[in-house]
Structures are given as C-alpha cells and as structure tokens.
Amino acid sequence: MPGCAAIGCSNSYKKGFLMKNFPKEPARRKLWLSKMKRDNWVINNYSCLCETHFEPDMWEKTREDSSRRLKHDSVPTLFCFTKEVKKRKPPKNRQMTKPLDPKMEISSVDASEPLDNNLNLVQGLSDGIIHNNLSNNDQLYKSMVFKINHYKKQLRYLSDKLKKNETNKSAKLLNSIFNNDQTEALSRKSTRFMMWSNPTICKALKIKFSCGNNGYEEVLKQKIPLPSQRTLRRRLQMLKFDSGILNEVFKFLEIKVQTFQDTHKKECVLIMDEMAIIPSNVFDVGKSTRWKQTVAYYFTGPSVNGTVYSNIITDLIIKCESIGLKVMAITSDMGSSNQRLWKYWNITAKKCCKVSNFLPHPLDDNRNLFVIADVPHLFKNIKNMLMTNKVLFISNELQEKYELPTNIVSPKLSQNDLVPSHFQKMKVGKSTNVISHDVCSALRFLADELNKPEYLTTAWFIETIEH
C-alpha cells in the first residue's frame, strides 16, 4: 500500500499508521480533494490518506475486534500547509475632472511651532481584524496538534521496531543453538508434558551416547532443555522389532556411530548365534569401546540350510558400512548350518588342506572379510574331542617348530578327570576345567615323574589354547 497523499506527510502502513482510501463516490471524492489543496494532482485507485488527517469525531466507536471505521460522511480536515497570502491589488489611476474651488480653505502648520506632547494616539482594531487573528491562531493550534500526534506515532513505531529487532536478535541466537521446542522449554517452569520433536530426540540421543547415563543426567542438572531419559526410552519403545533386519535400529545406530572420534571404534564384527528367547542376551563387547546392538533376528526351525545366511549377511554389511561402521569379521559357532555357510564361502581348516579363513569384502576389493570361530564354542569342541577321541594329532610343522616330542595331543587322558553329562558338555566352564593352567602344570609334572615326554605336547597345546 502506498504512503499518504497529503502534502508534507510521509506516513504509511509500514510505519504503523492506518491508511484510508479515497471514497469511490464522485461527490465525496471531490470534497476530499478540495480539502487537500493539491493543484494539478491526479488521483488513482491506490491513493489514500493516513489516520492523522481526520478529527476524532470523524470516527465510529472502536469495534469489538479493535478495528476502526470512518463515518460515512467523514471529511479530512487536519493538514499541514501554509496559508496563502493575499496580494494587494494596485490602486487605480484617477484623474481630476473638476477644477479646485478657489474658496476652499487650506490648513497649514508652521514647522517652527512645537507639537503637543500630550497627544494620545489611539489605535483601533476592527472586528474583522480580531476574527482573522483568532482564525490564524486556531489554525496554528491544529497544525501543532497534528505535528505532535505525528511525532508520537513515529516515536511509538520506532520503539516497537527497536524492541522487535532486539527480540529477533535474541531469538536468532537461541535458534542457532536450540530447536524451537527447546526454546519453548526455556520459557516454561517445567518440561513435564512437553512434546519433543524428532530432531531434539536425535540430539539428546547423541549426547547420551557420547557421555553415558551419568553424563546425560549432569547435562539435565545444568538446566539444558533436553528430554529426560525416561522420555527417550518411551520414544524408543515405538520402534518395530519384527523378524528380519531391524532397519529402524540402524537409524539410531547411525546416531551413535557419529559420536565416535577414533576410527578404530567404528571397526566391528558381525556375530551369528542360535539362542533361546530368554530375559537377557550376552554378547562380546568392543575392544576399543564397550558397545553392542542387535540388528536382526529370524525365527528358524530345527534345521536350516546355512547358505541362506549369505544374502542376509551381505545386506547387514551394506547397512553397517552405509552408516560409517567398518565390518572386519564375522564370528559364529560351529553348528551344522554355520559349517554349511563356511563351506559355501570356501572357509576351511582341514588337516590336508590349506587354511582359508577369509573371503573378499563385498564392498571393498582391497579388504578381506575374516570368518572367526566363536571362542567359547571352540573351547567346548576341543574339550569334547579330547574326551571322545582320546587322541588328537597336530601337524608335523608345529611339532618341528616347537620341538615337541610327539604330534599326539593329550594321549590317554583319563575319563575320571572329567565325565560330564550331555547338558554339562554345553557349558564353557566345564571346558575350561580341562583346558587350564592347572592341567597344563599337572601334565608337565607327570611327564617328569612318570617319564612320559609325550605329555609335554598336551601341556603345550593346553597352554597355547588357554592363553
């Protein structure tokens, strides 16, 4: 909307003034133009006058919605312009048509005679002059009132603009640090029943993953506007944990990975294992940082063809690498389905074959993906093999390298040392009772006492595995 069309007035809608368009009725529009006294000015459909040019009695009462309306017969009367000075007409040239009367008396005064000092000069003012002076004063008063109101409007507009700029500056600084809901939380006495946005939840999870539970609680004590740990757990309850790859878990795992500063912390291993549904799961934790996360699970029958795991593992590696992790190896027990997968990948460690414990990485030709047997399960298998077969052979290369007297491991180990039941065979603790430093020391002692040097091979093997 343009500014005010009055002479000498620069008010506009942007400065906070109420603008009124010229009436469309020709008679009233002509009356408004006559009050403005703008010669040779062409009006258009967008021409308007500000509210300061209308006297208070020209307005209707303020409505309930705080809007202001002019009366139907309102006319602008308050304008600031100089009064036009009337020019005096020049006197007419007159000629005397009659000769002077010779009998006319002419009075004269002698300049040498003194004048009367008590002469009283009386100046009279006519009623017309007094009326003109009053009219001028009234016009001057209205002009001054108009200027005062105009300056008050400008002062109020500038004050509001200054206050708004200060508020915008403070809000801009807060928004550069906090989200909108965090800024709102600062103005509240309590964050209870606060609806936190997803970006704030992600920010809180990053802080929690970086400094842990105790560190996050300390951040909350510092009055930083963040959701409580209970709120974070409640939001995580909405995640879907259907059978298969847990895609939503990878989104939160990506948030955790972003907090890793050391590149070695991003190196990880995929673990495959069969388990029963129990209240808690136990996994091997990271070497650099203690973290673990279930990323997939499937319901299976009594027997599974392990080759179906290949595509699942490839998909998991792609997702892990996409969020910044670096998958170095895969570990699993030596169940029949996993051995079928190893065979599909050409992973072998047989007696008459060359050991092959890695395959090309599916995403990087310059890297290898190692396959590692689950150590606790390996302990159990070694112990059971010793108890079942009685005799275990090692390669001739190892015998020569370590100068062992024989290549037979644990010959004639007595069944009275440990005869576990079927379920006890699955316990790692029973395996470590056989593969332990105590058994190693006992075998060395018996080798000397009984003159059985072949016991030293078993002692070396147990000591190597035990370490």
Which of 299, 418, 431, 339 lies closest to 377, judged by CA?
A: 431
Contacts of 428 (CB under 8 A, 6+ apart): 376, 379, 380
Over residues 149-162, the pLDDT tens digits come to 888 888 888 888 88
What sign does the dihedral 200-325-319-296 (CA atoms) show?
negative
Q: What gap in Å lies between CA 139 and CA 80, rounded to an integer?
A: 9
Check: CB of residue 329 under 8 Å from CB of residue 371.
yes
Alpha helices by DSSP H, listed for 288-374, are 309-322, 336-344
Which of 328, 393, 333 lies closest to 361, judged by CA?
A: 328
> For position 460, what pLDDT does the model report?
86
Over residues 56-83, the pLDDT tens digits come to 888 888 777 778 888 888 888 888 765 5
Which of 3, 41, 37 lies closest to 20, judged by CA?
A: 3
pLDDT (mean) for 144-148 = 86
Outline where DSSP puts E strands in 343-407.
Answer: 358-360, 368-373, 392-393
CB atoms within 10 A of CB 377: 19
pLDDT (mean) for 6-16 = 84
Q: What gap in Å lies between CA 332 and CA 339, rounded to an integer?
A: 9
pTM confidence score:
0.38
Over residues 398-413, the pLDDT tens digits come to 667 777 666 555 544 4
Token pair, residue 296, equals: 């997939």
pLDDT above 60: residue 345: yes
Token pair, residue 190, equals: 């309590």
pLDDT tier at 114, thresholds 50, 70, 90:
low
pLDDT above 50: residue 185: yes
Location of structure tokens 């056989």: 434
Which of 45, 57, 53 lies closest to 8, judged by CA?
A: 53
> For position 67, what pLDDT does the model report?
81
pLDDT above 50: residue 449: yes
Phi-psi region of 448 (alpha: psi -120 to 50; beta: other; left: phi over 0): alpha
Token pair, residue 243, equals: 């059978």
Contacts of 223 (CB under 8 A, 6+ apart): none
Token pair, residue 327, equals: 């998958």
The number of helices, as runs of H, and strands, as runs of E, in the chain is: 13, 10
Alpha helices by DSSP H, listed for 410-454, are 428-434, 437-449
What is the domain partition of the chain in residue ranges?
A: 1-83, 154-239, 243-276+292-373, 378-466
Collapse the DSSP code of 326 into the 3-class scheme (helix H, G, I; strand E, B; otherwise coil) and give the result.
Answer: strand
Token pair, residue 264, equals: 């070695």
> For position 370, what pLDDT does the model report?
92
Which of 268, 263, 231 lies closest to 253, judged by CA?
A: 268
> For position 411, what pLDDT does the model report?
47
Rounded-to-10 torsion of CA 174, 179, 180, 184: -70
pLDDT (mean) for 179-197 = 83
pLDDT tier at 301, thresholds 50, 70, 90:
confident
Q: What gap in Å lies between CA 453 and CA 330, rounded to an integer?
A: 39
> For position 412, what pLDDT does the model report?
42
Which of 213, 339, 325, 181 lies closest to 259, judged by CA?
A: 325
Percent of the chain having pLDDT more than 90? 2
Phi then psi for residue 332, to 5 deg, are -160, 165
- Strands 19-21 and 267-272 come out as unpaired
